[in-house]
Structure 1
Amino acid sequence: MHAYSQDLRDRILGALDRGEGPTAIARRFEVSRMWVYQVRKRWKEEGQRHSLPMGGYRRSRIAHKEAQIRQWIEATPDLTLVDGG
């Protein structure tokens, strides 16, 4: 899934400014009516015309083992992840 383009957002907001209805806008630009409402709401309430970042920060599952891993690398600089067996 990807974010809609900024150009499309600007067109949606322009159509809303001209007084066009969300249903007609959604049909013309082939987007959902709910998305048109969301774009309008973010513009009115937060003043944001751009999309929100997708995804997010994920913590490493092995972050708590960082010290141990660094010790292994220091002790054996050519250490690899390949199983020796």
Structure 2
Amino acid sequence: MRVGKSAVERKKGEYEGLQGGGRKSLQAKYFSLESLLLLICLTASLLILPLILPPLPPPPFMLLLLPIAILTVLMFLAFMPSNVRDITL
């Protein structure tokens, strides 16, 4: 009589569990029905609304400089040397 599963059977079960094992569909595994419907509605609105709504005027020049300023600050922070000795202590 066998009481437990062998190591090979356990590994096979784990692998099938990771792969889905054919028990759950891809839609049921990652998205609920509500979230899938929400994603479909958002996609449809992004495709249809630009065709219906009138074009917007360009933003003011100062507002266009805001993303450039944010990018400049982030680049400065990314390449700024840090004192590693202070961080590790």
TM-score by length of 1: 0.23
Larger Rg computed on CA atoms? 2
Is the helix fraction higher in 1 or 2? 2
TM-score by length of 2: 0.22
